[in-house]
């Protein structure tokens, strides 16, 4: 079984995609930098988890377009 993400991570990621879709991509490292610039998060781990979920959602949206 995989890890389950908390609601606040999902909610934050969806809001980021709504507001900053043009700045986000399917690359985790790039998304991590964007998340750090845009949000004021307490800790690296939380930023990484949000960036990881953003990356996953962006990859899904790219696959859905194809």
Residue 2: inside a domain, yes or no?
Answer: no
Per the structure, the count of domains in the chain is 1
Residue 61: inside a domain, yes or no?
Answer: yes
Residue 58: inside a domain, yes or no?
Answer: yes
- The first and second tokens of residue 61, run together, are 């949206």
Residue 28: inside a domain, yes or no?
Answer: yes
CB 23 within 8 A of CB 34: yes
Contacts of 37 (CB under 8 A, 6+ apart): none
Residue 1: inside a domain, yes or no?
Answer: no
Q: Tens digits of per-residue pLDDT, 20-37?
A: 999 999 999 999 999 999
CATH number of 41's domain:
1.10.60.20
pLDDT at 1 over 70: no
Q: Tens digits of per-residue pLDDT, 4-24?
A: 889 999 999 999 999 999 999
Which spans in the chain are helix H? Answer: 7-20, 28-38, 44-65
CB 54 within 8 A of CB 30: no
């Amino acid at each position: 079984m995989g890890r389950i993400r908390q609601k606040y991570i999902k909610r934050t990621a969806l809001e980021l995609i709504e507001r900053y879709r043009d700045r986000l991509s399917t690359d985790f490292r790039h998304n991590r930098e964007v998340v750090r610039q845009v949000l004021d998060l307490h800790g690296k781990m939380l930023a990484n988890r949000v960036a990881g979920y953003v990356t996953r959602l962006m990859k899904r949206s790219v696959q859905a377009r194809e």
